[in-house]
Structure 1
């Protein structure tokens, strides 16, 4: 790991987090993938379009993880949708 690259990524992440907070975006966590900062946000910001990067069943729902590039960082958020059960049909 290059400490200068990490320091640069952390400075970038701090700036972007400040900007996102000003825009009303709830940033949950920050990590680094060795390339760029990853910012986990509560929900999809209105000003980005995300792409599905992972979908998996989790308990009684389908968890979908979306991501979008944003000013040198990657924003990620999770959408959970309940798994619908089959509809029971009445017999006549």
Structure 2
């Protein structure tokens, strides 16, 4: 985690995504879904395609097509798709 700290302070999108995943899974950092979502959102807002996909996926986890969070997830998947992230393209196809 020490290696990530200076990158996080400087708002590095990749570091935010990695720290978000660490919080999500409780690996190296406390397991904290809310903190994970916050960090992934910071990264996604900087056009990190992997973070956009992960955040979209987490938002609709265990949800069917009528889930209200789809309105939040679809733009994330679309942005990641536009960046060439193939998993986001596959996720979008599920909703078409």
TM-score, structure 1 length as denominator?
0.29
**Could you say which structure has the higher strand fraction?**
1
Instruction: Considering Cα pairs closer than 8 Å and 6+ residues apart, tell me whether 1 or 2 has the greater RCO.
Output: 1
Please say which structure displays the higher CA radius of gyration.
1
Structure showing the higher helix proportion among its residues: 2
